[in-house]
Structure 1
Amino acid sequence: MAQESSVKNLIFDLGGVILDLSVEHTLQAFANISGLDKSEVTKRFVTSEGFVAYEKGLIDDVGFRAFVRDTYPVQADDAALDAAWNAMLRGLPLNKLQLLLRLKEQYQSVLLSNTNNIHLEYINTRLLPPGERSLDPYFHRTYYSHRMHKRKPDAEIFEQVLHENNFQPHETLFLDDNAENIAGARKLGIQTVHVITPDLIIDYFHA
């Protein structure tokens, strides 16, 4: 293993670490259904607070769709909106899922994802291997921002995970593709790996 021998616990991000992710696909899909230029779609995506509110569970699916229709604006039905929103979710590589099962036997392993209900439903029903309906079997515990009403990189979300699992920060390794999330974890003394390439966890754990 490439990590420090002191590590007993793993905290994994989902998108960009385990799940193949391409926000560009969703931005293009929103451009297609709204008629707006992609650069304008991107600007509104980055600056609008509704996306963060949805990840924190402060608005429900109905409220999120209303927000999207107002933000871009579009008249698309729910199915078309959801398809555009889910376009960024590109797949769950089997070799990563197999790696997670092996790591679960060696460490206390949890998932901590900034996500939302529409995405999670799509992952559970469309991207997992046949017969599976949850990521739960791959971890000792799973945490999703919209259910916790908290979001990375805020300290409180990391503190909750550490407390509920009796993790010591210096014995815990956090793997995430977002630099702000990595910085948030480091402030609490958590060891980190910034995942900058899609297969980094495969290489890191010599899978």
Structure 2
Amino acid sequence: MIKTIIFDFGNVFINLDIEGWQKNMLDTFQIDTLSEEILAFNNFYEQGLISTNEFLEFYIENFPKLSKEDITYVWNYILKDFPKFRLDFLKTLKASAKYKLILLSNTNELHISWIKENVSFYEEFKNCFDAFYLSHEIHLTKPNNDIFEFVLNENNINAKECLFIDDNQNNIKAANALHIQTWHITPYTEDVINLFETKNDLF
């Protein structure tokens, strides 16, 4: 029986445009692909191992024609709308008091700042969770095993009584390896509000 539900943030609650973001980034930077160094810095930033200022300075050094504002816009381009009906679903779920609710997201400071400014009900959303973990705050990222072990240990959770919802296949595989139940949600064709219809075998 499921007692805890762990949710990803992007493409579960807030919609993302990953392909558009990648294309816009390459077009803006006038490059064909992101270098290993850029990918590493992006990962450091997601883990909170470098500050926002250090992150932006790195991009300015590599793309001196761009301003910090330009880079911030490119970086946040991935973030789209957060339909309020998903908040309503979450609030109903919380009100039922049947499950421990946890958010576990690979999210950085610039993205969260944008969300706080553009999603009017962010604090209401955050308050629905019993625990709220952002990668840049806990210095751990999916799909590494240690982030899942951290959540299980911090909340005294039995993995087999836990459902993890994420749109990333690698994150799902990592959770499965620890015997966590999973839902690999498909953006735009599946929606978290249909959780109990889609995964009724677990509830």
Shorter chain as normaliser: what TM range?
Answer: 0.7 to 0.9
What does 1:133-144 align with in structure 2 at a 5 Å threshold?
133=123, 135-144=125-134
Alignment match, 1:8: 3
- Stretches of structure 1 that go unaligned for 5 or more consecutive residues are 1-5
Residues in 2 aligned to 1:161 and 1:11: alpha-carbon distance in whole angstroms: 9
State which of 81, 84, 89 in structure 2 corresponds to 1:94: 84
| 1:85 Cα deviation after fit | 0.8
Equivalent position to 1:44, from 29, 35, 44: 35
Q: Is the 8 A contact 2:60 2:67 kept in 1?
A: no
Instruction: Quote how far apart the aligned CAs of 1:120 are.
Output: 0.6
Query: Percent identity, aligned pairs only?
Result: 33
TM-superposition CA deviations, 1:125-174 (whole Å, max 9, x none):
21233xx5464212111000011111011111111111111111010000
SS in 2 for 1:174: strand
Q: 1:194 matched to which residue of 2?
A: 184
Partner of 1:3: none
Aligned-residue CA RMSD (Å): 2.1
Quick check: 1:110–1:139 contact (8 Å CA) kept in 2?
Answer: yes
d(CA) in 1 for partners of 2:176 and 2:119? Answer: 31
* Counterpart Cα distance in 2 of 1:75 and 1:136: 37
Secondary structure in 2 aligned to 1:48? helix
Please report the TM-score for the alignment, with normalisation by the length of structure 1.
0.85
Give TM-score scaled by structure 2 length: 0.87
Structure 1 counterpart of 2:13 = 18
1:55 paired residue among 46, 55, 59 = 46
Q: Which residue of 1 aligns with 2:201?
A: none
Q: What is the CA–CA distance in structure 2 between the aligned matches of 1:70 and 1:9, rounded to whole Å?
A: 44
Provide the rounded CA distance (Å) in 2 between the counterparts of 1:177 and 1:80.
28
Q: Which residue of 2 aligns with 1:79?
A: 69
SS in 2 for 1:150: coil
Structure 1 runs (4+) greater than 4 angstroms displaced: none
- Distance (Å, rounded) in 1 between the aligned partners of 2:187 and 2:123: 27
Aligned length: 195
Amino acid at match of 2:150: Q
8 Å CA contact retained: 2:26, 2:34: no
